[in-house]
Amino acid sequence: MRRNDAPQPFQYQGSKRVIASAILSKLDMRSYSLLVEPFAGSAAVSIRAAMEGKVNSLWLNDANEPLIDLWNAILHDTENLIEQYTATWAFQKYDPKEYYGIVRKRFNSHPEPADLLYLLSRAVKGAIRYDSVGEFNQSPDNRRLGTRPAELARRLRKISSVMKSCTFTSSIDYRDLIHRYEPGQVWYMDPPYEGVSKQRDSRYVSTICRDEFEEFLGHLNDQGVPFLLSYDGRTGEKTYGQPLPSELGLERVEILAGRSTTSTLQGRDEQTVEALYLSPVLEVSSLTGEDAGAGQMAIDFASEDYARAS
């Protein structure tokens, strides 16, 4: 399987889809039976692990409960979700911008998985944004009508077929997961980067304080929890967050994610580099070279099968 051909269930800003193989290449999955994602999002690493048959079981957790409801629908109510998305997508044809607003209002009143799937398909950069009262307020990308139903159906069926029988889901605070750790688990964490998580931020449903998160990582070390963590990075000279303190004893490796499409559109040739931290007790893989490489970073989702707005 090529690195970039694992299906993406929905647009999601910060998705690690194009570097999921590189992340997993650092890990000796033969030592573990359950891969846990405390900040699941679009679960790119779990999808890749399932596609490659590298793990027996998966656990997707996210503090955003409607997002986990969407994941449950993808896994266990796939055909109904596809049918509802198809109908929603078709209704937008007369006035896509106005219809997006209608769906967004409906979702904020009564969250339904198909509505969230549509909003993510149309939202600018696939980014979830919330206002001060916790309502979804991201604007639509008016250049696109969202993923075509036939293409989305193909992706969701493929994901469900390989994940539905081996995936657990939950929507709890990441700090509570430490009480549910058992030997055989390995965690992959992809929380918001520092700089967007120091205080209440409209991009996320909950706040992650750096000091609290560092303390949490210390607790994971104390309990011997093996984990990988994506936490900072850089594009050209622009950095996203500061490296974690050496006192945590984490090995920091950099993964080349490819040329930034956003920078390219702005006339700059810049590479995106993602930082990955490995915990002291992690069983690492011996793979090197090509097996540990990464692909092109598709920041603006240009390779996805979208219908263009006329």
Q: What is the pLDDT of residues 156-191, one digit of tens each?
A: 999 999 999 999 999 999 999 999 999 999 999 999
For residue 26, what pLDDT is reported?
93
pLDDT digits (tens, 9 = 90+) for 66-80: 999 999 999 999 999
Q: Compute the distance between CA of residue 288 and CA of residue 176 in angstroms, rounded to an integer.
A: 35
Q: Compute the distance between CA of residue 290 and CA of residue 247 in angstroms, rounded to an integer.
A: 31
Rounded to an integer, the average pLDDT of 276-299 is 64
Q: How sure is the predictor about 201, in pLDDT bands with cuts at 50, 70 and 90?
A: very low
Is residue 111's pLDDT more than 50?
yes
Give the residue with greater pLDDT, 91 vs 286.
91
For residue 301, what pLDDT is reported?
39
The mean predicted confidence, pLDDT, of the chain is 85
Q: Compute the distance between CA of residue 79 and CA of residue 67 in angstroms, rounded to an integer.
A: 18
The pTM of the full predicted model, rounded to 2 decimals, is 0.86
CATH of domain 1-310: 3.40.50.150
In sequence order, the 6+-apart residues with CB closer than 8 A to the CB of 310 are none
Rounded to an integer, the average pLDDT of 280-302 is 55
For residue 232, what pLDDT is reported?
82
Q: Compute the distance between CA of residue 163 and CA of residue 85 in angstroms, rounded to an integer.
A: 20
Closest CA to 41 of 165, 171, 144: 171
For residue 267, what pLDDT is reported?
54
Which parts of the chain fold into alpha helices (H)?
Answer: 20-25, 44-51, 65-76, 78-91, 96-109, 113-122, 149-163, 210-222, 261-265
Backbone angles phi, psi at 88, to 5 degrees: -65, -45
pLDDT digits (tens, 9 = 90+) for 77-104: 999 999 999 999 999 988 999 999 999 9
Is residue 199's pLDDT more than 70?
no
